Amino acid sequence: MEIVEMSLGQLRKLLDNKEISALEMTKGFLGHIAQLDPEINAFITITEEEALFAAREADARIAKKEGITPLTGIPIAIKDNICTKGVKTTCGSKMLANFIPSYDATVVTKLKQAGAVLIGKTNLDEFAMGSSTESSYFGLTRNPWDLKRIPGGSSGGSAAAVAAGMVPLALGSDTGGSIRQPAAFCGIFGLKPTYGRVSRYGLVPYASSLDQVGPMARTAKDLAVLYHNISGYDPLDSTTVPLLPEKVNDLPQGLKGLRFGIPCESYDKKIDPGIKEKLLLVADLLEKAGCIPVEVSLPSLEYAAAIYYLIAFAEASSNLARYDGVRYGYRSEEQTDMISMFRQTREEGFGREVKRRILLGTCFLTPEYYEDYYLKAEKGRARMKKDFARAFLECEFMLTPTTTVVPNIIREKTDDLLSKYLSEVCTVAANLTGIPALTFPCGCINGLPVGAQLMARAGKEETLFRVASFIEGELGVVKGGIR
């Protein structure tokens, strides 16, 4: 087997047994990237020099048998909206095309401390606003399973890179489904952690109350390991929860007696019948393992997409106000005074979708609309949390589709805004309620991967890893694409 197909555990063994050095491994992945990425375009920046340096350091650790963690010497890709000191962090935008942060995001610091090898920064929809990775200033990313198709988004670069074996692991960010939907479209695992479990310090915000950084990987166990290495309380992020870091052990296998909720509302939508079939298959497997299916009801799910867009756009309009051309990033040449500097910089620096969201969000926060839109959305959000709390009295986790469709052809839906916005209907609820949600591959339809989503109560990531790991064992690895 080639290293590009290996799981984290297999790579670890190679390194620990000195069958391959971290430097050789990193070079191997860099070679694979050089071969595939011209076509896929998963990366905006490849940090070859930094990666080789980090790999040598990892080798030194391994030689001394000091400070070896599960990630020491392992190449990882980082979504390009997560700040990396001295390495361009563009958010896929002209606005930040040349922005070099002076500091590392907390998650990046943690990975560096663990000895991971950061190999590059991955493509995304501009400022993580989108679900197709078509709106990046640095060009679109293609789905390794079918190069004519989108990889999903906004973490499409990370998903494609992991799926194509360019890296074993990647970080994404998830505001309404931006980890899970591309993970599903690319046939890999992705986790949106509980809000407050992973520090947002250094994640360039889209919608602060919904954003979470999360892991993307090719196995459930790899996903869990990466999650455990990035999670935990951060004094630099007031919204993180002060909890002790969880211990990583081999995930327990038994699922007997666990109740899994099937929200009727999630299955009422226009779901691709093929996807529905795969979900029923998963449900069967769970039942056979001793899980108990329970029908649950989440009436407020109907409004999830509307609530999500109101809140996300409102927060985005504020979070993106700082790009004014004054201190860093793009500044228009077409400026004669302060006002024209602001106006032209933002006019030229942002793409269409970002501008659309800023304008709508600005509108939602004016007093004319504040109460009817923003406050109402917050009320809806509170009601959703109640609905979920009630449903979780009856089950330990829920099983839903991650997406209602398989990945579409590139540029096929560019102008169909409504269907684009509604495509996130399955995923946004977890962001709005702050609960963890995991997507795992559960088969293929016409050679395209399908994902299923698990959701649990806040802080119950372990349950999700257990279930996903079990199904992975039952279904075997879902393979495809152009490794």
Which residues are catalytically annotated?
Answer: 79, 154, 178
To other proteins, the closest distance from the beta carbon of 438 in angstroms equals 24
Specify the residue, 107 or 291, whose C-beta has the smaller distance to other proteins: 107
Nearest to 339 by CA among 326, 350, 351, 329: 326
349 counts as binding other proteins under rule CB under 8 A: no
- Cβ count near 6 (within 10 Å): 19
Cis peptide before 300 (omega within 30 of 0): no
To other proteins, the closest distance from the beta carbon of 328 in angstroms equals 7
Beta-strand pair 117-122/75-79: parallel
Q: Give the tokens for residue 238.
A: 């007031």
- Please list the alpha-helical segments (H only) found in 147-242: 156-163, 180-185, 220-230
To other proteins, the closest distance from the beta carbon of 45 in angstroms equals 16
Specify the residue, 326 or 417, whose C-beta has the smaller distance to other proteins: 326
Q: Which stretch binds other proteins (CB under 8 A): 62-70, 111-119, 324-332, 412-420?
A: 324-332
214 counts as binding other proteins under rule CB under 8 A: no
Beta-strand pair 397-401/169-174: unpaired
Q: Give the number of C-alpha atoms closer than 13 A to the C-alpha of residue 189, restricted to the C-beta side.
A: 27
Instruction: Measure the CA–CA gap between 457 and 450, rounded to whole angstroms.
Output: 24
The helix-helix angle for 156-163 and 22-40 (nearest 10°) equals: 120
Instruction: Measure the CA–CA gap between 122 and 172, rounded to whole angstroms.
Output: 9
Number of residues assigned to the chain:
483
97 counts as binding other proteins under rule CB under 8 A: no
Nearest to 148 by CA among 412, 353, 402: 412
Specify the residue, 314 or 435, whose C-beta has the smaller distance to other proteins: 314
Q: Which stretch binds other proteins (CB under 8 A): 186-194, 230-238, 452-460, 468-476?
A: 230-238
The helix-helix angle for 8-16 and 220-230 (nearest 10°) equals: 70
Given candidates 19, 368, 394, 416, which one binds other proteins under the rule CB under 8 A?
368
Name residues whose C-beta falls within 8 Å of residue 285's C-beta, 6 or more positions apart in sequence: 470, 471, 474, 475
To other proteins, the closest distance from the beta carbon of 234 in angstroms equals 9
Q: Which residue has 């106000």 as its token pair?
A: 321
Q: Using CB under 8 A as the criterion, what x/- string covers residues 37-56 for binding other proteins?
A: --------------------
436 counts as binding other proteins under rule CB under 8 A: no
140 counts as binding other proteins under rule CB under 8 A: no
Given candidates 46, 62, 74, 105, which one binds other proteins under the rule CB under 8 A?
105
333 counts as binding other proteins under rule CB under 8 A: no
458 counts as binding other proteins under rule CB under 8 A: no
To other proteins, the closest distance from the beta carbon of 166 in angstroms equals 25
233 counts as binding other proteins under rule CB under 8 A: no
Given candidates 327, 393, 415, 446, which one binds other proteins under the rule CB under 8 A?
327
Using CB under 8 A, list all residues that contact other proteins: 82-83, 89, 91, 96, 99, 101-103, 105, 200-205, 207-209, 235-239, 314-315, 317-318, 320-322, 324, 326-328, 337-339, 342, 362, 365-368, 370, 374
